[in-house]
A and B are shown apart, each in its own frame.
Chain A
């Protein structure tokens, strides 16, 4: 009899002891938590990708609660999660545009090479060798650091330069971090006109080294009906708050570096 009772007592006693300890602990060490926190975490995608700039989804949820981040802070969850969080927080989410990344260079095979690079397949490494293998010090190196960084397989090297597949892109910003040339930017998906060049070189210089670079001719600026496109430092840039996607600039651009994705979808591919 004793061989049964004492082990049961020992194990039961220990279990009871630790159970009580935990129950007591949860009372003594109770930390006030906002009930909304768990709901916000549930509304976020939970991928912990860090695209919002916080260390993970829980950190973003905390920041939203403290008012340090907007309810649409999560670029991956997009409108659906922003709507859900806005409801939890009791504010209106507003009009949330889906964002996508865009590579502001279509140089690739159109750009002249300084030398043949045969080192590590990495843009940062390539850019360290004599200023990079391209004559253009602004252009895409095409080594695919952004391709490796993309968790959603949304960016690929096409004709020697990186291009974003807008359907797959979740605007997490990983490619932007990976790019040593800083030529990837986040734009609204609704925007269809892009200046696909990042070079601030003077027209004459650029003409010699790239067939598709912006030479700063101001034609787009003169033809824009809303004044959305301006040329600064030999490079055109579009203010998307003013742009109406009319595509005039793409039509008049003599170097065809302004792309109108809506008018000529094949130009994107």
Chain B
């Protein structure tokens, strides 16, 4: 497989076939917590794309040049350290240099510091043996898949506000039911084999 098609299939697989929320069930906490309105869901999604891309890039470098295979057992703890401090640093950087972006992303950034989806993408990049460019592409498109899922789900939940369902389903029960239906729909992408 030539380079470009390989990266394309990586991206497509991270967005649809191996969607982090609906297929891998990673990052379910923000998925349920910040999906009441479409605009907050979009903000969260963009923050996740941003953090996942940066985290994938840095963890790949650290894994290749510092940890290697010898100290592979330290991966999780080192990745947590990297992601947490990176998010903190980005937050400070944004506050100073891009106040407008900070206003829109600021509240979501600390929320995803210890998100399992971010740690998950870093770990999966290593397990799948991706190179630097592959990691970055996989990270950003996994964030894209997260955004797709959370925005879809938020639009469903906005409609649910007006739906007439039994009282006992109000709140989280109906949200979980609709999330599972969406997940079943995404299972359909499993049949989408590339090359």
Contacts and interface: CB of A to CB of B under 8 A. Distances in A.
Contact of A10 (B78, B93, B164): B78
A6 B71 contact: yes
Give the bracket for the number of chain B residues in contact with chain A: 20 to 34
Contact of A25 (B62, B74, B89): B89
Contact of A31 (B77, B88, B95): B95
A30 interface: yes
B134 to A, nearest CB: 23
Contacts of A19: 85
A10 B70 CA distance: 12
Contacts of B86: 18
B67 to A, nearest CB: 7
Interface residues of A, number: 19
Contacts of A18: 81-82, 85-86, 89
A122 interface: yes
Contacts, number: 48
A26 interface: yes
A123 to B, nearest CB: 12
A21 interface: yes
B66 to A, nearest CB: 6
A22 B78 contact: no
Nearest to A124: B162
Interface of B is mostly: helix
Contact of A22 (B71, B88, B95, B96): B88
Contacts of B93: 25, 29
A77 B164 CA distance: 35
A26 to B, nearest CB: 6
A157 B71 CA distance: 67
A91 to B, nearest CB: 27
Nearest to A26: B92
Nearest to B102: A31
Contact of B74 (A11, A28, A31): A11
A15 B82 CA distance: 9
Interface in B33-85: 62, 66-67, 71, 74, 77-78, 81-82, 85
Interface in A1-37: 6-7, 10-11, 14-15, 18-19, 21-22, 25-26, 28-31
Contacts of B88: 22, 25
A251 B115 CA distance: 64
B164 A11 contact: no
Contact of A21 (B85, B162, B164): B85
B193 interface: no
A18 B92 CA distance: 14
A25 B162 contact: no
B128 interface: no
Contacts of A15: 81
Given A29-B95, A120-B164, A122-B162, A21 B74 contact: no
Contacts of B74: 7, 10-11
Contacts of B66: 10, 14
B97 interface: yes
B194 to A, nearest CB: 36
B85 A31 contact: no
Contacts of B96: 28-31
Nearest to B106: A58
Contact of A14 (B82, B92, B162): B82
A26 B95 CA distance: 10
Interface string B140-183: 00000000000000000000001010000000000000000000
Contact of B89 (A21, A120, A121): A21
Contacts of A14: 62, 66, 78, 81-82
Contacts of A30: 96
A29 B95 CA distance: 7
Given A15-B81, A25-B89, A122-B162, A10 B67 contact: yes
A30 B82 CA distance: 22
Most buried by A among B81, B92, B95, B164: B92
Interface in A166-189: none
B83 to A, nearest CB: 10
11 contacts: A10-B66, A10-B71, A10-B78, A14-B66, A18-B81, A21-B85, A22-B92, A25-B89, A29-B92, A29-B95, A29-B96
